[in-house]
């Protein structure tokens, strides 16, 4: 049974966020990233623009003509309309000047609509306003999931698992990376995903972020690695698997190494543990199999409104020191083993850290 959030859920989130703003003497925050916009409003809406004051009700900015449809899908009552994209920031700036805000938060990130051009435009229109980063606040709130969020992630995990089982029995000599991806996308869309992500890497040349190529095809003596990010109601679960086509001693050793590292990570990852501690033990497995120089550093990332969100141990080293807590959704082992001439090896599932502090498997 899927849970549905109530208006009170979003009001509580806004209240927690506003409390953080007040503690840091930030007058308001302008939310332009889609994932955080969904977190506070409950809907996906392009282009996302939500001004949250430290005190008072949030204000959404939508294109003229969209306001009725927007109000039907969200709890936000205060709406400001605009007629073209360039007008959005002018409307925002006008409201900021009217309210006398002096310090305004933005999210510094790599997500869609968090482009540097908007940051520069905002500063140019608001030269007397101090701009600060509030991404640590938003991600801090988002790392611990509500029950309804966890229910969506579990459903996404079920879809991802079905897609992986579906494709692994169908990979054959001659298939291109785009052939494989197309088959997976078809399954994901048919089973409830709206914005899935699929990566395929066929050897011999390993690629960490393997968006599929049409001219790379399955042949003998290569790895085929499939990464699936299935979403349900905007929440993601992540799953990766590798198979080797043919027989090769090094390939067999790499698969054994990854299996052992994965099982060790499952044993060690729990509430109260820092990713850095688990990474040290996993490194011993890589060393045992002679794979240290081939393994990408890091092992875990968060999952939720983004397929990959904090903590992201492969990208941001300081996240390796974040203590894991109940309510987190995490995916590991995210970092692959890269073998020149063969491809990449990866085994990854999404887990939830339960209230008891243990792991609950979402995919697989």
Q: Are 346 and 225 in contact (CB under 8 A)?
A: yes
Q: Are 108 and 36 in contact (CB under 8 A)?
A: no
pLDDT the model gives residue 4: 65
d(CA 362, CA 109): 27
pLDDT at 190 over 80: yes
pLDDT at 2 over 60: no
pLDDT at 187 over 80: yes
d(CA 139, CA 151): 19
Please give the average per-residue pLDDT across 181-186, as a whole number.
Answer: 98
Architecture (CATH level 2) of domain 147-361? Alpha-Beta Complex (3.90)
pLDDT the model gives residue 3: 58
Domain ranges of the chain: 7-142, 147-361
Q: Are 88 and 45 in contact (CB under 8 A)?
A: no
Multiple choice CATH, 7-142, 3.40.50.300, 3.40.350.10, 3.30.2320.50, 1.10.579.10: 3.40.350.10
Q: pLDDT tens-digit profile of 132-171? A: 999 999 999 999 999 999 999 999 999 999 999 999 999 9
Same fold, 7-142 and 147-361: no
Whole-number average pLDDT of the chain: 93
pLDDT at 214 over 90: yes
List phi, psi (to 5°) of 14. Answer: -60, -40
Token pair 């966890």: residue: 150
Per-residue pLDDT band for 110 (boundaries 50, 70, 90) equals low
Please give the average per-residue pLDDT across 300-324, as a whole number.
Answer: 94
């Amino acid at each position: 049974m899927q849970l549905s959030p109530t208006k009170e859920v979003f009001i509580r989130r806004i209240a927690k966020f506003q409390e953080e703003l007040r503690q840091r003497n930030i007058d308001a925050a302008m939310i332009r990233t889609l994932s955080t916009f969904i977190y506070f409003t409950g809907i996906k809406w392009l282009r996302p623009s939500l001004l949250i004051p430290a005190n008072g009700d949030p204000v959404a900015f939508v294109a003229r003509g969209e306001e009725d449809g927007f109000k039907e899908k969200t709890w936000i009552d205060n709406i400001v309309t605009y007629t073209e994209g360039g007008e959005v920031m002018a409307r925002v700036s006008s409201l900021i000047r009217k309210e006398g805000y002096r310090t305004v938060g933005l999210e510094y990130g790599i997500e869609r609509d968090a482009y540097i051009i908007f940051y520069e435009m905002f500063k140019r229109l608001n030269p007397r306003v101090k701009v600060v980063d509030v991404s640590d606040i938003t991600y801090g709130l988002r790392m611990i999931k509500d029950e309804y969020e966890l229910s969506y992630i579990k459903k996404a995990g079920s879809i991802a698992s079905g897609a992986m089982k579906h494709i692994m029995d169908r990979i054959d000599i001659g298939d291109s990376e785009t052939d494989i991806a197309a088959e997976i996308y078809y399954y994901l869309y048919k089973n409830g995903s709206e914005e899935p992500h699929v990566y395929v890497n066929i050897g011999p040349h390993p690629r960490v972020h393997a968006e599929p190529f049409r001219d790379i095809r399955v042949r003998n003596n290569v790895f085929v690695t499939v990464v699936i990010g299935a979403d349900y109601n905007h929440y993601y679960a992540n799953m990766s698997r590798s198979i080797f086509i043919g027989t090769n001693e090094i390939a067999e050793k790499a698969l054994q190494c990854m299996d052992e590292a994965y099982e060790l990570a499952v044993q060690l990852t729990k509430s109260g543990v820092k990713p850095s501690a688990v990474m040290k033990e996993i490194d011993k497995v890589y060393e045992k199999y002679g794979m240290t120089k081939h393994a990408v550093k890091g092992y875990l990332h968060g999952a939720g409104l983004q397929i990959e969100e904090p903590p992201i141990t492969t990208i941001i080293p300081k996240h390796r020191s974040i203590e894991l807590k109940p309510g987190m959704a995490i995916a590991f082992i995210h970092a692959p083993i890269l073998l020149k001439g063969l491809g990449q090896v990866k085994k990854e599932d999404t887990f939830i850290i339960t209230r008891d502090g243990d792991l609950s498997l979402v995919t697989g």
